[in-house]
Amino acid sequence: MAQKSFCLQFFCLVLFLALFASRFPGCGQTTNSITPQTVLDAEKLIGLDFSAAKIDMMLKDLQEQRGRFDSLHKLPLSNSIVPAILFNPIPVGMKLDCAPHKSSFRLTPAGRVKLPANLDDLAFYSIGELATLIKSRQITSEKLTRFYLERLKRYDPKLECVVTLTEELALQQARRADAELAAGKYRGPLHGIPYGAKDLLATKGIRTTWGTAPYTNQVFDFDATVIKRLEEAGAVLVAKTTLGELAMDDTWFGGKTHNPWNLKDGSSGSSAGSCAATSAGLLPFAIGSETYGSIVSPCDRCGVTGLRPSYGRVSRTGAMALSWTMDKIGPICHTVEDCAIVFHAIYGPDGIDQTLYDLPFSYDSRIKLKKLRIGYLKKDFDGEKGERKDNDAASLQKMRELGADLIPIELPKYPLGNISFVLSTEAATAFDDLTRSGREDWMKQQGAEAWPNAFRQRRFVPAVEYLQAQRLRYLLIQDTAKVFEKVDLFLAPSLAGRSSLLSNLTGHPCVVVPNGFSKAGTPTSICFIGKLFGEGELLAAAKQYQDATDFHWKHPRLD
């Protein structure tokens, strides 16, 4: 038993041994045999040095284990099959308020909203404003839907932000919304509001491409939970938006999604199309996802507002899996309050995704910043240079003017870069069949930093090292919880420092908000990072800042 247990350390290593043996067969050995030299060479990959006697003792079982792996590979596992091990982001001692009845949702009144004389002005109305127009019947959902469909058709050739227009479905949903309203049924602020969904969310009968050639003809016979919940809220799906291939960057099988503020630049990724389309006024809002930076980075580049919820808040049922312990789904909008509206519609358990927590969400836009303990990453802000440093300094000053007493804090010091390989290791597992089939060669991105190469590299991560990284991640969660004993939320640079990777590893929520422009006229942003499951306070605080600025009401010109 000791020998067999020991050999589990070579879970991925054995694959390398077989490959080595097949390419450099020894004299008198079959191409599939594992020799002492095979083990000696493989040891170099993982920093081990066993004696000849210990290697000899392993050989028979390593060969048998290779056969067991071969048998397992014959069992098909789709991307939708989750591991039996679940990630727990909750630190020791954290008490959860599991009383959904304590949820409350108080929006800022939209006030009097009139249909503009020039309908093009509708492109940048908030969800709250559009909802007022629909509820007061100044415009129908069908007319509003046709308006956005026309804009998508007009500007998508410049932005390359749409994979599939869902026009037929959209018009059906819009007509139903109008009929329900005429019958006295109003579902809430998303009733009749068009939106786009990142093309990693399953949509029944409509292709879901995951942004890459191997899956361009993929069609599911069900809707993702997020799609279902938005339909239940009355929203109208008008487009499946682009994502970088398998949720990396902004290059997809059809091209490169562009930044509306500078068409020579990409929109960043991976929620590329959702951010570009919202920024350009082609959608009132869109759904994106983040594993590490995929909401924050394109929101920063495109000048829109996004919410990356806590891990365990929004169902991933029907969403492409990249990293089971890091994937999160959230809204991309014009305003913080729009993010609150969408989040309110999509959060909570669905009875399928076992990573979800049944916790209340309370939002009140009237929150007083003076009552919150707000921190900021002083060293990260001090280390910035140029225009971002200036814009962030102005944001900190604005927060102080609004009554916040900013507390300088530091994040726990862990080798985050050395832990982060858990993401790509899980991704290699999620796309095991793609690598084995050779279809990764069909992907557009084939460089050293692209997924095909990363998937191959991560085949050689031993199970022991993956689990060791997760043990360090456990300690990171505990020490990060100590930071939130001092503050309720903190401010961080969007693209500098360690907060992005750390908070994605720990599962904390983030709101990214535009906070200025560069000299070249492109947007910048700042991040608000909150307590686990603390989206209510986090959104309310970010809204206070956004309401005191006007960056979110400045828009790119495409004509």
The domains of the chain, with CATH numbers, are: 1-75 (no CATH), 100-107+121-359+369-413+471-553 (3.90.1300.10)
Relative orientation angle of helices 225-232 and 336-346, to the nearest 10 degrees = 110
Give the pLDDT of residue 457.
Answer: 94
- Grade residue 34 by pLDDT with cuts at 50, 70 and 90: very high
Give 198-229 pLDDT, tens digit per residue.
999 999 999 999 999 999 999 999 999 999 99
Write down the pLDDT at residue 20.
40
| DSSP assignment letter at 290 | E
pLDDT at residue 30 is higher than 60: no
Pick the closest to residue 248 from 445, 426, 453 (CA basis). 445
Distance between CA atoms of 362 and 106, rounded to whole angstroms? 8
User: If pLDDT is split at 50, 70 and 90, which confidence band does 97 have?
Assistant: confident
pLDDT for residue 98: 78
Confidence at residue 27, expressed as pLDDT on a 0 to 100 scale: 39
pLDDT tens-digit series, residues 298-307: 999 999 999 9
Would the pLDDT of 24 be above 80? no
- DSSP at 533: T
End-to-end CA distance of the chain: 71
pTM of the complete model? 0.92
In the structure encoding, which two tokens stand for residue 253, read together? 């099988």
Strand 285-290 versus strand 328-333 pairing type: antiparallel
Of the candidates 313, 308, 247, 302, the one whose C-alpha atom is nearest the C-alpha of residue 277 is: 302
Mean pLDDT of 271-278: 98
Cα atoms in the Cβ-side hemisphere of radius 13 Å centred on 210: 21
Q: Which residues are catalytic?
A: 198, 270, 294
Q: Name which of 62-71, 139-148, 351-360, 541-550 the model is least confident about.
A: 62-71
Query: Which of the pair, 27 or 55, is modelled with greater confidence?
Result: 55
With pLDDT > 70 as the criterion, what percentage of the chain qualifies? 94
- Report the 3 state secondary structure along 457-516: HHHHCCHHHHHHHHHHHHHHHHHHHHHCCCCCEEEEECCCCCHHHHHHHHCCCEEEEEEE
Tokens of 166: 């869902």
Distance CA 360, CA 102 (A): 6
3-class DSSP assignment, residue 265: strand
Q: Is the peptide bond before 362 cis (omega within 30 degrees of 0)?
A: no
- Say if strands 162-165 and 194-198 run parallel, antiparallel, or are unpaired: unpaired
Residue 52 burial by Cβ neighbours in a 10 Å radius (0-12, 13-18, 19+): exposed
At residue 99, the pLDDT reads: 73
Q: Is 407 strand, coil or helix?
A: strand
Helix axes 52-73, 36-46, angle to 10 degrees: 80
Kindly tell me if the per-residue pLDDT of 75 is higher than 50: yes
Q: What pLDDT was estimated at residue 178?
A: 98
| Element (DSSP H or E) covering residue 223 | none
- When the pLDDT of each residue in the chain is averaged and rounded to a whole number, the result is 93
pLDDT digits (tens, 9 = 90+) for 305-340: 999 999 999 999 999 999 999 999 999 999 999 999
Instruction: Phi first, then psi: give them for residue 247, nearest 5 degrees.
Output: 65, 45
Tell me the residue type at 2. A
Distance CA 513, CA 527 (A): 6
For residue 100, the model assigns a pLDDT of 64
Under the banding of pLDDT at 50, 70 and 90, the label for residue 110 is confident
Predicted confidence band at 11 (pLDDT cuts at 50, 70, 90)?
very low
pLDDT of residue 525: 98
pLDDT at 388: 97
Phi and psi at 352, nearest 5°, equal -125, -55
Give residue 435's Cα distance to chain centre.
23
- Number of C-beta neighbours around residue 557 at 10 A: 7
